[in-house]
Amino acid sequence: MPRPEEDRGDSSTILSSPQDGSLDSLDDEALMALVAGDLGRRGTQEEGHRAFEEIVRRYERRVMAFAYSYVRDQDEAAELAQETLLALYRSAGRYRSDRVHGASFLTYVFSITRNLALTARHRSARRPAAVSSLTGDEEEGPAEPESASPGPEAAAESTELCSRCEEAVMRLPAKQREVLVLRVNQELKFREISALTGETEGTLRSRFHHAILRLERQLQGA
């Protein structure tokens, strides 16, 4: 595959999954250190490439689903995911200094995605902000093959429920939608959401509580 430094102007060249699973045991911090070594010392180039590919394998789908929750368009979400990972690669050398103290690696990655998504949303008013369904990140975003096919009636009921949930979520105020998708879909802790958004945990918990109450009212009245 084309390596990141061979064409850093085109983010689509960096996304691929590693064939070698030998880096599976390394944590994200160690992988980023290897990527930073690749940027700084040519002797570690192949190791850095493989480390970055492992990061892509771990987080590409989650980044795409998170981006999709803002832009509601699969192609744009894929583009934002590519831009996020390219930015992550380019900033590997200053990862430790850029990251908010105590924030997880995923929170750091999502902060890049969020900034890019909000910028894209401000640039274009043709689509409203939204989030993916409460029942899963990939309901209408990047999908995985289903292990078993439900019967026609069960499938219809599930589709209707997903549709009602999603419509209800889309009617939430933007900040309630954001905390809801981060907490429910992405399973971030409130302290991680706080590091990502800059809001206090108390504010986020209150916002989440009101989002749940509003959803319950909307679904009961549907």
Q: Please, what is the average pLDDT of the chain?
A: 75
Averaged pLDDT for residues 210-217: 91
Out of 57-71, 92-106, 111-125, pick the least confident: 92-106
Could you tell me the pLDDT band of residue 124, with boundaries at 50, 70 and 90? low
Q: Is the pLDDT of residue 204 over 90?
A: yes
Q: How far apart are CA 201 and CA 198, in angstroms?
A: 9
pTM for the model stands at 0.66
What is the CATH topology of the domain spanning 151-222? Arc Repressor Mutant, subunit A (1.10.10)
Q: Sign of the CA dihedral 195, 186, 142, 31?
A: positive
Q: Output the DSSP codes for 61-129.
A: HHHHHHHHHHH--HHHHHHHHHHHHHHHHHTGGGHHHHSPTT--HHHHHHHHHHHHHHHHHHH--SS--
Q: Which helix (H) or strand (E) holds 34?
A: helix 28-40
Q: What pLDDT sits at residue 8?
A: 43
Q: Is the pLDDT of residue 111 over 80?
A: yes
At 4-20, the pLDDT tens digits run: 544 444 444 444 434 44
Q: Is the pLDDT of residue 70 over 50?
A: yes
Q: Is the pLDDT of residue 84 over 90?
A: yes
- Sorted by where each begins, the domain ranges of the chain are 1-130, 151-222
Q: Is the pLDDT of residue 24 over 70?
A: yes
Averaged pLDDT for residues 50-66: 93
Q: Is the pLDDT of residue 101 over 90?
A: no
Averaged pLDDT for residues 132-148: 39
State CA 196 to chain mean position distance. 12
Out of 71-80, 150-159, 160-169, 186-195, pick the least confident: 150-159
Whether the CB-CB separation of 103 and 39 falls below 8 Å is answered with no
Q: Is the pLDDT of residue 191 over 50?
A: yes
Q: What pLDDT sits at residue 112?
A: 94
Q: Is the pLDDT of residue 152 over 60?
A: no
